[in-house]
Structure formats: structure tokens, C-alpha cells
């Protein structure tokens, strides 16, 4: 059978299969490749059925949850070190059990496992770069080499010492991938600017499952009824993280309310801020608290709701000031379901999709908004500049605006007062652009070509520097030591597949 027509056995390796843009890409990529006839398995170090995409828990995709012996962090510190150790633990499980049955590996976010997969499994590896981790270590990335260098100089000495081997390991292991991919031209350019790897990643844009938005939501679903309203609605979709800057949407909305106070049709407008919320993550908790504080500052009523249990939360959610989701001026929707997301995006009362991050690496939110015919308001940097057309006006699918609350409020005022004929034209153009360029089928075909290219590269020639193996070997030894003293053999076999209960 020729390589171009061969159906592949593909293993995805992803560190934390929760709710986010990277996770959505992995799920849609796996679904798309599976629909093309390939066999797909996803391996992960964390999968919580109460905080994940439905396809990963309902049996649509085969998910192998290998429970690690390491925490995510130690008192909120050493995140990247433990992330490396968790992936090495996942890799050693894969090596002991099923690595040789696959034709190719698809790895994203963490590259630690790449040299081991190539050396021990003798398989080709494709690495998908969402964004270099070393550029995220100091918080939100600001484009420009000078700014990156300035931030690095401001690091505390201890953190610089800690980050140096982590950053070195990231670059050296990433370089071992047979094919490098990036999620946007922006990410590819930043990759080349900050890594000394003499290769330019191929760009494969994330795609969405367009058919999921063609299905009318079940309005008898209590979860859907709980979030829909006949009031004019602005929608923001993003994880509850500081770097996602949902505060920009809330601040701009507060200014907008004053601008449209005398507008009969819009004065009852509401804002829905929806996204993934993980009670294990301090950043998520602090971000929600900050958004609530902004609401209180502007005397805006709000309601916090979650369709999924947050039983693992060490803290309780802030109390709501509105009695129900439908009466709140701002609704904070934590861990929305697929039905709720689709219902909000396709509701005739939703006027726009607000996408608040700056220098976002790609950003799937604007594509979701466009495929549903919504005007998109996004910041004028990063990936959204490749997905959203802001000019010329006759080709516009959205607005790209500097990240200030005043500028966003002005843009929102223009959006909510759009004439119906112009709104329909924007919706038509947005749908066409999203379907032609950013559909799951296109992404799946692009990835299929890449994976076939990787398999067709033939016999692997190991070119890994000895220093990488020494470093990774030391980490593997640490994994073995921890496992030896803290885990029993029975624990080592504790692998959870998609619909099983996650062990405590």
C-alpha cells in the first residue's frame, strides 16, 4: 500500500485534557483524522470527566488517562518541572505497553518525550507548537525581541537559574521532531525569532467541527434554557485566566452601558463571559474574583453558574448578586457544555463575539464566532489578525481594535447599532471565510498530509546530542525514584480510559 493511501495508527500525547483552545485543537484533530479512517488514541496525564470536552468522555475518542505520581506544582511553584516529569511518566508507560503499535506520534505543548519516542520506539514524531513555553514563563507574551529581553533581565536570579535548563531542554527536544508545525504565521515567526532551530514550522491552522454548529440546539435542555435569553447579548469565550484578559470585555461593557442607556432596543443588553474554569488552578480562581470585583465597582449585577460539578474545588465560588442567570446583567458561565456553547453562538439575540487576549497565538474563538455568522471584536495582534478581516469595510468579518476599554466600547457601540442589511452581509462573509479556511475537514486533511510525510521519511537516524539524553536520563531516574518510594505496582497499572471514573 502506498504511503499516501495508507491508514495510520496515530497516538496523540497531550499533557492535560481539560477545556481550552489547545485541547479543542487536539480533540478536533483526532476527530478529523478518525473520520478519514485513521486509528487514533489520545494519551494524557490528566482527564477529569467533569472538566473536559464531551467527545473525550462519551466514547467518541479513545482517551488513555495515565495517572501520574506527581502533582501539578509544589505550593504553586515548579509547574514546568513537574510538567516534564509527568510527561516522562506518561512516556515510560507508553513504552512499556503500546508504543510500538503506532505508526507515528503527534505531540503538542511539551516536547520532552520526543527524543525518547524516536530512540526507543523508533517512530516518527510530529510536534505541533502552540507557542514556545519559554516565552510564556514571565506571563503574557509581548511581541518584539527587545521587550522579551527586557522581561528576561527582570527575572529574579533564582528563577533565571531554574528556567535556564528548562528552556534549554525545550529547544533541544523540540529540535528532535521530524516535522514541526505551528498554529499561525504569528507563532511561526515568533518561533524562528526566539529559537535557534534552523527550520521554519509549517503552518496548519486549527479547524473547528463546522457540523457541530449546524445542529439546532435542544431548547428543551435545562442547561440551554438556563443561559439563553431574548435580551441582546454580547458573548465572550475564553478560559478564566488573567492572560486571556476577560476584564477588558467587562470594562468595555460597563462603558458601553452608559453610551446606550437611552437606546430602547439595547439598554437591557447583557454580557455572557463563558469559559473553562479549573478549581485546581489559582489563576482561574483569582481571575473570577477580579471579574466579580469589576462588576461590583460598576454596580453591575452578575450571576455565576456551572453546568458541571466543581467538587474538587478547595474554595467556594463568589456569591451572585442576581437571583438567576437570565436576570443577570453579566453571566459568568463556568465549564459550559457543547450544547450551551452552540446555543449562545447561534442565538438570534447574540450580537457579537468578543475575543479579548492580546498576542494570542491563534485563537479558536473568532473562528467559532465567524462560522456562526457573528461579528467578531478582537485585539489587533497575534493570530486574530490572520482569521478576522477588519478591512476593507466591504470585506469585513469583524473589528481588530487596540486593547483599551474605551476603544472597545466605541467598537461595540458601532457593532450593536449595525443596520440589519450590513449585519447580514458580515454574517455571510464570516461564514464563508470560516468554512473555507478554518474547518475541521481542512485541518484534518492538512494533518493527514503531514503525518503521511513523516511516516514516509523512512528509517530513523538518531541525531540527538548526548547532553539531551543525560538530562532526560536524570529526569527519568527521578521519575523511577519517586515511583519506587511512593507508588505500588498496582498504582502503576492504574490507567483510566475515557469513560471510567478518575481515581481520587
Model confidence, pTM: 0.77
Length of the chain: 504
- 97 or 4, higher pLDDT: 97
Is residue 455 predicted with pLDDT exceeding 60?
yes
Looking at the chain, the number of H-run helices and the number of E-run strands are 17, 15
Is residue 186 predicted with pLDDT exceeding 60?
yes
Is residue 379 predicted with pLDDT exceeding 90?
yes
Q: Are both 9-208+442-497 and 223-438 of the same fold?
A: yes
Mean pLDDT computed over 254-281: 91
Tell me what percent of the residues of the chain surpass a pLDDT of 70. 85
> What single DSSP character describes residue 360?
-
Mean pLDDT computed over 378-395: 96
**The domain made up of 223-438 is a member of CATH 3.40.50.2000:** yes
Rounded-to-integer distance, Cα 418 and Cα 406, Å: 19
Contact 408, 440 (CB under 8 A): no
Rounded-to-integer distance, Cα 216 and Cα 380, Å: 32
Rounded-to-integer distance, Cα 364 and Cα 495, Å: 31
The bridge status of strand 330-334 relative to strand 270-275 is: parallel
pLDDT of residue 311: 44
pLDDT of residue 461: 76
Dump pLDDT digits (tens) for 152-179: 555 678 888 888 889 999 999 999 999 9
pLDDT of residue 370: 97
pLDDT band at 489 (very low <50, low <70, confident <90, very high): very low
Instruction: Indicate the fold that domain 9-208+442-497 takes in CATH.
Output: Rossmann fold (3.40.50)
pLDDT band at 504 (very low <50, low <70, confident <90, very high): very low
pLDDT of residue 142: 63
pLDDT of residue 264: 81
Mean pLDDT computed over 295-321: 81
pLDDT of residue 160: 82
In sequence order, the 6+-apart residues with CB closer than 8 A to the CB of 224 are 217, 218, 339, 340, 343
Q: Look at 423-427, 431-435, 476-480 and tell me which has the smallest mean pLDDT.
A: 476-480
Rounded-to-integer distance, Cα 477 and Cα 471, Å: 10
Task: Quote the mean pLDDT of the chain.
Answer: 87
Mean pLDDT computed over 405-415: 98
Contact 10, 352 (CB under 8 A): no
pLDDT of residue 290: 98
Is residue 291 predicted with pLDDT exceeding 90?
yes
Among candidate residues 488, 275, 271, the one with its CA nearest the CA of residue 364:
275
Tell me what percent of the residues of the chain surpass a pLDDT of 90. 68
pLDDT of residue 490: 43
pLDDT of residue 439: 92
Is residue 297 predicted with pLDDT exceeding 90?
yes
In sequence order, the 6+-apart residues with CB closer than 8 A to the CB of 300 are 250, 253, 254, 257, 329, 330
Is residue 208 predicted with pLDDT exceeding 80?
yes
Rounded-to-integer distance, Cα 330 and Cα 495, Å: 41
Domain ranges of the chain: 9-208+442-497, 223-438
Mean pLDDT computed over 247-264: 94
Dump pLDDT digits (tens) for 359-375: 998 988 999 999 999 99
Dump pLDDT digits (tens) for 59-79: 999 999 999 998 888 877 888
Among candidate residues 353, 363, 386, the one with its CA nearest the CA of residue 208:
363
pLDDT of residue 399: 98
Amino acid at each position: 500500500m502506498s504511503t499516501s493511501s495508507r491508514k495510520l495508527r496515530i497516538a496523540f500525547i497531550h499533557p492535560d485534557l481539560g477545556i481550552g483552545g489547545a485541547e479543542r485543537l487536539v480533540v478536533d484533530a483526532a476527530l478529523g483524522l478518525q473520520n478519514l479512517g485513521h486509528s487514533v488514541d489520545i494519551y494524557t496525564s490528566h482527564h477529569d470527566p467533569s472538566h473536559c470536552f464531551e467527545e473525550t468522555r462519551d466514547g467518541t475518542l479513545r482517551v488513555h488517562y495515565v495517572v501520574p505520581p506527581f502533582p501539578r506544582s509544589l505550593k504553586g511553584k515548579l509547574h514546568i518541572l513537574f510538567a516534564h516529569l509527568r510527561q516522562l511518566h506518561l512516556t515510560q508507560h507508553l513504552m512499556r505497553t503500546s508504543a510500538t503499535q503506532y505508526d507515528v506520534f503527534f505531540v503538542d505543548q511539551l516536547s520532552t518525550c520526543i527524543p525518547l519516542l524516536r530512540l526507543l520506539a523508533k517512530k516518527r514524531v510530529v510536534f505541533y507548537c502552540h507557542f514556545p513555553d519559554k516565552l510564556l514563563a514571565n506571563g503574557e507574551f509581548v511581541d518584539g525581541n527587545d521587550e522579551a529581553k527586557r522581561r528576561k533581565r527582570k527575572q529574579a536570579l533564582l528563577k533565571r537559574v531554574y528556567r535556564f535548563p528548562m528552556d534549554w531542554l525545550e529547544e533541544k527536544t523540540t529540535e528532535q521532531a521530524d516535522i514541526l508545525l505551528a498554529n499561525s504565521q504569528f507563532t511561526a515567526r515568533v518561533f524562528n525569532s526566539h529559537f535557534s532551530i534552523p527550520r521554519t514550522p509549517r503552518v496548519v491552522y486549527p479547524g473547528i467541527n463546522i457540523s457541530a454548529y449546524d445542529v439546532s440546539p435542544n431548547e428543551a435542555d435545562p442547561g440551554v434554557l438556563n443561559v439563553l435569553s431574548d435580551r441582546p447579548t454580547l458573548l465572550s469565550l475564553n478560559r478564566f485566566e488573567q492572560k486571556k484578559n476577560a476584564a477588558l470585555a467587562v470594562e468595555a461593557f460597563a462603558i458601553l452601558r452608559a453610551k446606550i442607556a437611552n437606546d430602547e432596543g439595547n439598554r437591557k443588553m447583557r454580557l455572557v463571559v463563558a469559559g473553562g474554569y479549573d478549581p485546581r488552578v489559582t489563576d482561574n480562581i483569582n481571575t473570577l474574583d477580579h471579574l466579580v470585583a469589576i462588576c461590583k465597582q460598576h454596580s453591575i449585577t452578575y450571576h455565576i453558574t456551572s453546568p458541571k460539578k466543581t467538587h474538587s474545588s478547595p474554595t467556594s465560588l463568589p456569591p451572585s448578586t442576581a437571583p438567576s442567570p437570565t436576570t443577570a446583567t453579566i453571566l459568568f458561565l463556568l465549564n459550559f457544555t457543547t450544547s450551551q456553547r452552540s446555543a449562545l453562538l447561534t442565538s438570534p439575540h447574540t450580537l457579537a463575539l468578543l475575543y479579548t487576549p492580546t498576542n494570542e497565538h491563534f485563537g479558536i474563538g473568532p473562528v467559532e464566532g465567524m462560522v456562526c455568522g457573528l461579528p467578531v471584536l478582537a485585539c489587533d495582534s497575534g493570530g486574530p489578525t490572520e482569521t478576522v478581516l477588519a478591512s476593507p469595510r466591504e470585506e469585513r468579518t469583524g473589528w481588530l481594535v487596540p486593547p483599551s476599554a474605551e476603544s472597545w466600547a466605541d467598537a461595540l457601540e458601532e457593532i450593536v447599532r449595525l443596520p440589519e442589511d450590513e449585519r447580514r452581509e458580515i454574517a455571510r462573509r464570516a461564514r464563508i471565510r470560516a468554512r473555507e479556511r478554518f474547518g475541521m475537514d481542512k485541518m484534518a486533511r492538512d494533518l493527514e498530509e503531514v503525518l503521511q510525510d513523516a511516516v514516509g521519511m523512512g528509517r530513523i537516524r538518531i541525531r540527538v546530542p548526548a547532553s539531551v539524553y543525560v538530562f532526560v536520563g536524570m529526569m527519568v531516574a527521578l521519575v523511577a525514584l519517586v515511583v519506587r518510594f511512593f507508588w505500588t505496582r498496582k498504582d502503576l497499572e492504574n490507567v483510566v480510559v475515557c469513560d471510567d471514573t478518575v481515581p481520587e
